[in-house]
Structure 1
């Protein structure tokens, strides 16, 4: 059972997607997320730490906004999984103080990141 977050913490992330089943397949196959469906236009995801949702009730607005960054203990392996799932790598693995990361575009056009520590 997910614990409700403390005041001021990010508690939920929601994505507008054009195809909920495709989003579930994409994120489930790469990151192993669990899903709870709430009708044909909404599903909630749980990544083991935070919940969020995919909805098809609004237009996809993938450009702009904050960059959501996932953690991966195996950065090259995660990159390969993303490519196999159909992601476009838009910024290859690069180093930054404290680790490495890369950016990818998901099937709806969202640009997201994945990082690991040194």
Structure 2
């Protein structure tokens, strides 16, 4: 299976989700929606160009956030991770549960963290 990303999200880990919500909604005028399923909640919104911004309240380490997360649209996140590993890519976090689906994290050649996310409506493997 050859994975070709079609969309991506920028994910930030922030120390104060309410402060982040006020800044992006009121100061920058972005419409971030409160999403349930993570404590206390997470924020999600898209720019007009299509890039999605997501904010979780949790400790973030510089260099690990923001993170680019590629969406697996057709299912098969297990297959994509297996193919990446077979290509020599370092898998940091294997496929695991995430809000609304499944996720996995890996490194690019310079050690930058990248991730995958797939809706739980889709099959984890197509093989």
> What's the TM-score once normalised by structure 2's chain length?
0.44
Determine which structure has greater relative contact order: mean sequence separation of CA pairs < 8 Å that are 6+ residues apart, divided by chain length. Answer: 2
Structure with greater Cα Rg = 2
> What's the TM-score once normalised by structure 1's chain length?
0.47
